[in-house]
Structure 1
Amino acid sequence: MSKPAHHILLVDDDDVTNFLSREMLKIYLPSPQIDTVLNGQEAIDFLHARADQPELLPDIILLDINMPVMDGWEFLAEFEKLKRPGFEKIHIIMFTSSVYYEDIDKAKTYAIVTDIFSKPLDESKINDIISRCS
């Protein structure tokens, strides 16, 4: 079985946002594989569970900032400690409803963050994300 064109991990505690994001990705991407977790700790656990099988890692992580248990910033700190083969191919996109310039500026200080986009996803944002992550 061949790998889907895009494997995306949604990391967001909002079920409505996750539903809408999944639907938009399915509309605008050919056969995406989409996994969803509700906070940064679940995302770290997801990645740990696949660490020995890099082909099962996502290509793109859409990461919310404000979440319970482990927020986006805490996730980034933990992710930077996960130097494993295959992790270098993962593109992290901050995907937030935050309108604070401080959050945008802070996201840009992380070398592992490819970009930051505001919610919700639309065709233009999906195209931008895919072009930046190709």
Structure 2
Amino acid sequence: MSVISCVLLVDDDDTTNFLNQRLLERLAITDTVLVAGNGQDALDLLHTHCDLPTSPTCPALILLDMKMPRMNGIEFLQAYAQRPRHRDPPVVIIMLTTSLNSDDVVKMQHLPIAGYLTKPLTSEKITQLMQAHFGQGTPTR
């Protein structure tokens, strides 16, 4: 049994996406994982999968890389904020980064995100995220 409807992974690294997708599947937090290689692809996926607010493939959680080519995480958030609010159900956006640079941390604190995590994702980080933002941990199998 899944906990949330859908997760959208947004990262330009195919290996990271593959590993994160496998982790989410193993933890069984969702039945649907969408993957985008940059912010523009993510916006396109949202347009397709969130056409109806009740769509089961409209993400409840977006795990967003900060640094990507074409459209990075910050640019994605700026474009996402321009979307009509009535179309999208509530979504938790978590920024992912490999950087602990203090300038990047300050930038993230001023973004419209629910929080940030350092890579790599782990079972423990996902469990904490699920408890903090969805009121439950990962399901047990």
Q: Same fold (TM over 0.5)?
A: yes
Does the residue aligned with 2:114 lie in a helix, a strand or coil? Answer: strand
* Residue of structure 2 in register with 1:75 after alignment: 76
Count matched residues.
Answer: 131
Q: For 1:47 and 1:121, how far apart are their aligned partners in 2?
A: 23
Task: Sort the Cα spacing of 1:124 and 1:28 in 2 relative to 1 into closer, same or farther, 3 A.
Answer: same
| 2:20 matched residue in structure 1 | 21
Superposed CA deviations along residues 32-71 of structure 1, whole A, max 9, x for unmatched, are: 3111000000011111223421223100000001111100
Question: 5+ residue gaps in structure 1?
Answer: none
Identity %: 35
Displacement of 1:133: 2.2
Aligned counterparts of 2:126 and 2:72: Cα–Cα separation in 1: 23
- Name the CA shift for 1:83/1:132 in 2 (closer, same or farther; >3 Å): farther
Asked if the contact 1:47–1:57 (Cα under 8 Å) also holds between the matched residues in 2, the reply is: yes
Q: Which residue in 1 is equivalent to 2:98?
A: 97
CA distance in 1, matches of 2:60, 2:104: 23
Instruction: Name the residue aligned to 2:7.
Output: 8
Relative to the length of structure 1, the TM-score reads 0.88
Query: Would the aligned equivalents of 1:51 and 1:84 in 2 still touch at CA under 8 Å?
Result: no
Kindly report structure 1 stretches of 4+ aligned residues shifted beyond 3 Å: none
Asked whether 1:44 is paired with 2:43, we answer yes
